[in-house]
């Protein structure tokens, strides 16, 4: 677990490289989709955090000029617009729908929403260690879930950003915004979308300090203020965020939601 890429962001705490022992577990093959989340909502009447507070973060290129002018922006990340009415079922705000996107990853879900889905489904979020071991697909210290080259033989392996962030996305990989899950090939463990598409919540509180010693089933810090997210998203580009690398990590407030953040489920493996 962990990495020592020379181009990592030091404050992210990717290193040191360390050995982690995990009990058998299972991971969702893809991030949870809009269709799956809809089944949960239909069964429970659940309302997400974004629906309750009335807004979520939407990438500036996905809102119209009028909305862009009048919305608040995030200091240091002005491409995030605070859009009233944006939610998992209306990802760009009023008027937007999930038509043609039912098999895309659910977005605009905060950490509590992800936990609520898991509780309903009888599963849980992966620990960060479980997430990373799965994402690596059996490769040892490779840069990506499929190997060391971003586009082997010129073929895109994940949905990230091509062009000039944050204004011009040339869509070379086929998608601006989210893509249907499993559009790209799986890794060695059969997992899709562990790089790019949407960030994925993990169960752990975030820390950027890790002991180098071997550990078993590390659960992360006992407390914290931000939760770990992994995998990078359709907005990642090496000019600004090269966190589609498999050792890369980031964090977010548990009550934060946005159009590039979803989750994947995990479960103990009862069969051992
Ligand atoms: Ca893309």
**Domain chopping of the chain, boundaries:** 25-208+226-266
What's the 262 CA to ligand 1 centre distance in angstroms? 16
| Residue 206 CA, ligand 1 centroid: distance in Å | 27
Q: How far is the CA of 163 from the centre of ligand 1 (A)?
A: 10
Distance 151 CA to ligand 1 centre (A): 13
For the record, the structure tokens of 66 come out as: 């009028």
How many angstroms does the Cα of residue 21 sit away from the middle of ligand 1?
34
Is the predicted pLDDT of residue 229 greater than 70, yes or no? yes
DSSP, collapsed to helix, strand or coil, labels residue 125 as coil
Which tokens sit at 123? Answer: 């599963």
Query: If you measure from the C-alpha of residue 171 to the centroid of ligand 1, how many angstroms do you get, rounded to a whole number?
Result: 5
> Given the DSSP bridges, would you call strands 77-84 and 55-59 parallel, antiparallel or unpaired?
antiparallel
CA of 64 to the centre of ligand 1 (A): 20
Q: What pTM was computed for the model?
A: 0.97
Q: What six digits make up the tokens of 178?
A: 């989210």
* Closest C-alpha among 39, 209, 19, 53 to residue 129: 19
pLDDT in tens, 84-113: 999 999 999 999 999 999 999 999 999 999
**Whether residue 240 has a cis bond before it, omega within 30° of 0:** no
Helices (H) and strands (E) in the chain, counts: 5, 13
User: In this structure, is the dihedral angle defined by the CA atoms of residues 47, 78, 97 and 196, taken in order, positive or negative?
Assistant: negative
Q: Tell me how far the alpha carbon of residue 212 lies from the centroid of ligand 1, in angstroms.
A: 35
Map tokens 């944006």 to a residue. 86
Residue 117, both tokens: 């889905």
Distance from the CA of 156 to the center of ligand 1, in angstroms?
Answer: 9
Element (DSSP H or E) covering residue 128? helix 128-136
Tens-digit pLDDT profile for residues 126-159: 999 999 999 999 999 999 999 999 999 999 999 9
Q: How far apart are the first and last CA of the chain?
A: 22
| CA 211 to centroid of ligand 1, rounded, Å | 35
Q: Residue 65 corresponds to which tokens in the numbers above?
A: 């000029």
CA of 173 to the centre of ligand 1 (A): 5
Q: Which helix (H) or strand (E) holds 21?
A: strand 20-21
CATH class, domain 25-208+226-266, is: alpha beta
Compute the distance from residue 65 Cα to the ligand 1 centre, in Å. Answer: 22
Q: How far is the CA of 177 from the centre of ligand 1 (A)?
A: 6
Contacts of residue 139, Cβ cutoff 8 Å, sequence gap at least 6: 145, 146, 147, 187, 188
Q: Distance between CA 226 and CA 254 in Å, rounded?
A: 6
pLDDT digits (tens, 9 = 90+) for 43-70: 999 999 999 999 999 999 999 998 888 8
Give the distance (Å) from ligand 1 centre to CA of residue 28. 22
Q: Which alpha helices (DSSP H) does 159-215 contain, by range? A: none
């Amino acid at each position: 677990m962990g990495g020592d890429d020379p181009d990592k962001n030091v404050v992210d705490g990717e290193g040191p490289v360390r050995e982690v022992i995990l009990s058998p577990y299972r991971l969702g093959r893809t991030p949870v989709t809009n269709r799956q989340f809809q089944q949960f909502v239909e069964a429970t009447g659940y309302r997400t955090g974004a629906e309750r507070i009335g807004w979520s973060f939407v990438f500036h290129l996905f809102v119209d000029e009028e909305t862009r002018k009048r919305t608040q922006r995030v200091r240091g990340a002005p491409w995030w617009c605070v859009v009233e009415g944006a939610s998992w079922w209306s990802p760009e705000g009023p008027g937007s729908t999930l038509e043609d996107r039912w098999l895309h990853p659910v977005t605009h879900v905060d950490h509590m929403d992800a936990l609520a889905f898991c509780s309903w489904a009888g599963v849980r979020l992966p620990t960060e260690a479980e997430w990373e071991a799965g994402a690596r697909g059996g490769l040892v210290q490779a840069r990506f879930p499929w190997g060391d080259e971003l586009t082997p033989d010129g073929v895109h392996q994940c949905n990230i950003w091509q062009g000039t962030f944050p204004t011009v996305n040339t869509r070379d990989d086929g998608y601006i915004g989210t893509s249907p899950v499993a559009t790209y090939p799986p890794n060695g463990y059969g997992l899709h979308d562990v790089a790019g598409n949407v960030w994925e919540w993990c169960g752990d509180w975030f820390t950027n300090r890790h002991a180098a010693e071997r550990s078993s089933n590390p659960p992360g810090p006992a407390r914290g203020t931000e939760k770990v997210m992994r995998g990078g998203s359709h907005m990642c580009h090496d000019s600004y965020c090269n966190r589609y690398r498999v050792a890369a990590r980031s964090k977010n407030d548990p009550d934060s939601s946005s159009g590039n953040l979803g989750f994947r489920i995990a479960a103990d493996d009862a069969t051992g």
